[in-house]
Copies of this chain bind each other. A is one copy, B any other.
Amino acid sequence: MNLVDIYFKMKKDVQYIEDELEKSIDTDMRELNQSATHLLKAGGKRIRPVFVLLGGKWGNYDVKRLKHVAVPLELIHMASLVHDDVIDDADKRRGKDTVRMKWDNKVAMYAGDYIFARALAIAAELPIPQLHQILSNAMVELCKGEIEQVKDLKNWDQNFRTYLRRIKRKTALLIAISCQLGAVASGASEELIRKMYWYGYNVGMAFQITDDILDFTGTEKQLGKPAGSDLVNGNITLPALYTAHFGRTRDRFQTWMKEETFWDHVDEAIHLIRSDEGIAFSQQLAERYIARAHAILRDLPNNQAKTSLSGIADFIIERKF
């Protein structure tokens, strides 16, 4: 089952969430509305809302309840993008001008804060204490991940473990709780709630590793930003770490990366990493996570949701964008 089919089967509910998302940041403040709407229109795959909806199929499915989870999770993701852009000095995201570029850092920072706060206000309309505990704790971890990313910028003194912990906090956790909170909001059993979390965690890890691979192997057109952007910005990901520590040219690379001028000639490094075994290594690791996600699904009763979750897991590592 491919991704288009999966979205097609859920298209009414995905559209409902999309409409609610648009309403969620509708406000009387012109500046805020502009910057938030701008971001909203930039789109994205809305993968977190889709996971919430699929997580919601394991209890009493009710899209009107699930929106109180799906909308906040997408908003939290959006808010973190806004704040990331302030940090990354990213000129482009998804090929459109970033909020940062258009309205400068000040508005970007407060717009991010506002979107975070709206997310929580919408979630708070659902009186399930467990939901707020899971959501706010995930936000704490997300922030830690962001700070780690700043700290680890241009720092070669990090290992695979550092990288995996960072992407867990930065990406996997939000996907894990999307699946989990869909199940929570629909009143699924504790066991199913736990399984949804672990399915999402594994898929989320594979998602970020694939993203980090594509940043090296994709074209500017596919990515909506120049290839190798991560390393240009000093963000050292798995393929780069592999080449630095285990690659064919590791001796040369290690001398080189210690030089002050390394970051001035990062194009050469990108070229090296691209033709090295770190890409295949990363791919295998992503596949391992996806295999674990499938193993978790195996125990679940057969239904449409299971087929969709399985299809998304496969798509995650096969995608080219």
Contacts and interface: CB of A to CB of B under 8 A. Distances in A.
Interface stretch (A147-155, A255-263, A296-304): A147-155
Count copies of this chain in the complex: 2
B146 A110 contact: yes
Interface stretch (A90-98, A121-129, A244-252): A121-129
Contact of A140 (B112, B118, B142): B118
Contacts of A168: none
Interface residues of A, number: 41
Interface string A102-118: 00011101111110111
Interface stretch (A24-32, A44-52, A185-193): A24-32
Given A118-B140, A120-B136, A127-B129, A113 B146 contact: yes
Contacts of A38: none
Contacts of A121: 133, 136-137, 139-140
Contact of A144 (B32, B83, B133, B142): B32
A143 interface: yes
Given A32-B147, A113-B143, A143-B114, A106 B87 contact: yes
A31 B110 contact: no
A86 interface: yes
Pick the 9 closest A-B CB pairs, nearest first: A127-B129, A117-B139, A114-B143, A120-B136, A121-B136, A124-B132, A117-B140, A124-B133, A113-B143
Interface of A: 27, 29, 31-32, 83, 86-87, 105-107, 109-114, 116-118, 120-121, 123-125, 127, 129, 132-133, 135-137, 139-140, 142-144, 146-148, 150-151
